[in-house]
Amino acid sequence: MKINMEQLVAYCKQQGFVYQGSEIYGGLANAWDFGPLGVELKNNIKKAWWKRFVQENPYNVGLDSAILMNKEVWVASGHVGGFSDPLIDCKSCNTRYRADKLIEDFTNGKETGDNWPNEKLVKFIYDNNIVCPNCGKLNYTDIRKFNLMFKTTQGVIDDPASAEKNTVYLRPETAQGIFVQFKNVQRTSRRKVPFGICQVGKSFRNEITPGNFIFRVREFEQMELEFFCKPGTELDWFNYWRKYCLDFLKDLGINEADLQLRDHAKEELAFYSNGTTDIEYRFPWGFGELWGIASRTDYDLTQHQNHSGEKLDYVDPDDNSRYIPYVVEPSVGVERLFLTVLFSSYDKETLENGEEREVLHLNPFLAPYKIAVFPLMKKFHSEKAMEVYKLLSKEYMTIYDDAANIGKRYRRMDAIGTPYCVTIDENTLNEDIVTVRNRDTMAQENIKISELVEYFRDKLSF
């Protein structure tokens, strides 16, 4: 049985995956904190991405750039002038909407309204009688553009003039940190084009309509790759990365039937892009963007070259040609992948004996705890169980549990996705043999303690 959004939010809180932020003060709208299990799952998602995109990919290297950057970066990238959403309010009930999202919801994603001018958005809304979803009236304000960047000041500010001078923005994407370090990374890593730079980090957007739990939040993490290639080869690389991303999702265990690739139509493309695809997941409210993959031509590096006055072109050592590399950008949010992983792995199953079990069929690499260690009877087996716990926790995230009967302990671990439970009983005291139980098959196996660490090695890797 699948889970709906309301149940998932309750489940996440109950198990310690996600709590409401600042809860004891009544919360802060759409701010969420990740609890003991949530932080593990989040870290494992980032580790899996890094392993696949940096460690195992022959083209890519990593970077960790600062959140605060010179504000000229955001002027050059177009974010100061243009990073805005079309805001529209219902005059009857004052509910606020993103005009493009009203259209997207109304047409079930057939039209997204992305990059449409205001007049076209308004005309579409009135022509199609898209009434306010809250009160049913067709009575909207004009569209206003609302810049999504969080603005703050750096250093000591004692007069309004220096406040303006000292303005800094919280980055709304990690990508620009990569573009401005393109030369340094290329030179110091002695990379030849094609190569890519990967980054994982926080981004901030003052979203007009955050919501759907952690799907759209104002503070989130992105995992981004900027892949630099020779002009003319970008669409081949675009296809390469689309497949690479999709394979990654499948390997994480996301059900392929719940994924779809949506190519942006010509009028929806940003003016500099010659190809954009969203990998969408079937969330309970319909398909939604999980991963955006865009062929961005030489737009970003050219903007930074023109604006900074620094040369950002590349000389090809093979034929001495000089060009500004084209860029393919796959960008995914950690929180959206977190949500996707939970929706796709949660299940409520009825067992042969009629009992119900709640189980998270997580890819073992993603599981918050890899192994649970149980003494069968607290009184007799705790000491040995603690020894086994110490042995395994040096290698794997392991949890020790001696409360309640063994059946209940299994259920608790199933519900949080722990792939293996190790039970210590008389057999262990006499012969150093433990029972290992598999979360998905519930089959049990006897394994020698001396072989345990190796036994798990392949099973828990990615």
Which one of residues 332, 373, 376, 421 is an interface residue with ligand ATP (CB under 6 A)? 332
In 10 A of CB 218, how many CB atoms? 17
148 secondary structure, DSSP code: -
Nearer to ligand ATP, 336 or 409 (CB): 336
Size of interface with ligand ATP, in residues (CB under 6 A) = 15
* Site mask for ligand ATP (CB under 6 A), range 336-365, x = bound: x-----------------------------
Residues 255-294 that bind ligand ATP (CB under 6 A): 289-292
Name beta bridge partners: 84: 147
Residue 207 binding ligand ATP, by CB under 6 A: yes
DSSP per position, 408-455:
HHHHHHHHHT--EEEEE-HHHHHHSEEEEEETTT--EEEEEHHHHHHH
Residue 437 phi, psi dihedral angles, 5° rounding: -115, 135
CB of 107 to ligand ATP, least distance (A): 15
Which one of residues 79, 216, 412, 439 is an interface residue with ligand ATP (CB under 6 A)? 216
Return the range that interacts with ligand ATP (CB under 6 A); candidates 118-126, 182-190, 330-338, 406-414.
Answer: 330-338
Pair 140, 124: CB distance under 8 Å: no
Nearer to ligand ATP, 267 or 349 (CB): 267
CB of 212 to ligand ATP, least distance (A): 9
Nearer to ligand ATP, 166 or 212 (CB): 212
Is residue 374 classed as helix, strand or coil in its secondary structure?
strand
The tokens of 433 are what?
């043999």
Return the range that interacts with ligand ATP (CB under 6 A); candidates 3-11, 25-33, 75-83, 214-222.
Answer: 214-222
CB of 172 to ligand ATP, least distance (A): 8
The kind and range of the H/E element at 136 are: none
Residue 300 binding ligand ATP, by CB under 6 A: no
Which one of residues 174, 222, 297, 398 is an interface residue with ligand ATP (CB under 6 A)? 222
Q: How do 398-400 and 371-375 pair as beta strands?
A: parallel
How far is it, in rounded angstroms, from Cα 262 to Cα 249? 16
Which one of residues 333, 364, 417, 419 is an interface residue with ligand ATP (CB under 6 A)? 333
Q: How many residues would you count in the chain?
A: 462
Nearer to ligand ATP, 7 or 206 (CB): 206
Which one of residues 280, 335, 401, 414 is an interface residue with ligand ATP (CB under 6 A)? 335
Burial code of 47-77, b = ≥16 C-beta within 10 A, e = fewer? ebbbebbbeebebbeebebeeebebebbebb
Residues 160-179 that bind ligand ATP (CB under 6 A): none
Angle, helix 334-345 to helix 36-50, in steps of 10 degrees: 110
Which one of residues 53, 220, 237, 365 is an interface residue with ligand ATP (CB under 6 A)? 220
Measure Cα distances from 247 to 121, 166, 178, 252 in Å. 36, 44, 24, 9
How far is it, in rounded angstroms, from Cα 43 to Cα 34? 11
- Return the closest-CA partner of residue 340 out of 371, 363, 370: 363
Pair 436, 444: CB distance under 8 Å: yes
Residue 227 binding ligand ATP, by CB under 6 A: no
**Closest residue to bound ligand ATP by CB:** 333
Is residue 261 classed as helix, strand or coil in its secondary structure?
strand
Residue 217 binding ligand ATP, by CB under 6 A: yes
Place of tokens 């149940």: 7
* CA-only gyration radius of the chain, Å: 26
CB of 90 to ligand ATP, least distance (A): 21
Residue 60 binding ligand ATP, by CB under 6 A: no
Place of tokens 């192994």: 371
Nearer to ligand ATP, 71 or 336 (CB): 336
Nearer to ligand ATP, 33 or 356 (CB): 33
CB of 262 to ligand ATP, least distance (A): 11
Return the range that interacts with ligand ATP (CB under 6 A); candidates 194-202, 313-321, 326-334, 360-368.
Answer: 326-334
How far is it, in rounded angstroms, from Cα 150 to Cα 374? 48
Nearer to ligand ATP, 332 or 460 (CB): 332
320 secondary structure, DSSP code: -
CB of 19 to ligand ATP, least distance (A): 17
Residues 116-155 that bind ligand ATP (CB under 6 A): none
- Return the closest-CA partner of residue 151 out of 80, 209, 95, 102: 80
List residues near ligand ATP by CB under 6 A: 205, 207, 216-217, 220, 222, 289-292, 331-333, 335-336
